[in-house]
Amino acid sequence: MTVSGSGVDDDKTAVLPETAAELVEHEQLKAELAASEERAKSHWDQYLRSLAEIDNIRKRAARDVEAARQFGIERFAQELIDVKDSLELGVQSAETADAASLIEGQSATLRLLEKAFEKNQIETIDPLGTPFDPEVHEAMMTQPANGAPPGTVLAVVQRGYLLNGRLLRPARVVVARD
């Protein structure tokens, strides 16, 4: 059943429930719609809070990465201070010390440096006698092999270094050729 206005404005018609059952169903649908709208609003609020939390996590992670970049070398720097102190003592005592004590001082300083490298996972690449590996070696020159197979490292001009398995500097080597 539809009710029309005064006849002047026929576009404005309203659909009214014809029975009490339809009226109850209409009220139930209105209640369900209101509940659904409330849940949607709650979900929207949860979504916005989640976005804010993700943004906070992203900012916190960026700050942590920056702090790690700035202060990550601190432990290694502390180890190097001991090495510097030892070198300074050696230089100060160079005028009064004999050669044996200077050599002992240099050996102690080298041990301090090796200890610092070890604590900070810096590995030395010393490939003497091994096959040439272009991933970690840099060939400075080749020379005829005297009993060594071609492609073997005959001499190490300068050792290389790895930091946690990543190449810091390749070992500079002399490689055997035919």
**Chain segment 104-137, per-residue pLDDT in tens:** 989 999 999 999 999 989 999 999 999 999 999 9
Q: Does residue 85 lie in a domain region?
A: no
Handedness of CA 115, 117, 122, 126 (dihedral sign): negative
Q: What is the rounded distance in angstroms from the CA atom of residue 161 to the CA atom of residue 139?
A: 15
For residue 10, being part of any structural domain is answered with no
Establish if 91 belongs to a structural domain.
no
Number of domains in the chain: 2
Q: What is the pTM of this model?
A: 0.60
Please give the Cα distance from 78 to 116 (Å, whole number): 9
Cβ-based neighbour number of residue 106 at 10 Å: 13
pLDDT reading at 14 higher than 70: no
In a domain, 24, yes or no: yes
Tokens of 148: 């060594």
Span 19-47, average pLDDT: 93
**Residue-number span of the structural domain to which 41 is assigned:** 17-71
The two beta strands, 14-15 and 2-3, are antiparallel
Q: The domain that contains 162 carries what CATH number?
A: 2.30.22.10
Choose among 116, 104, 123, 21: nearest CA to 76.
116
Is the residue at 169 inside a domain?
yes
Element at 137 (helix H, strand E): strand 137-144
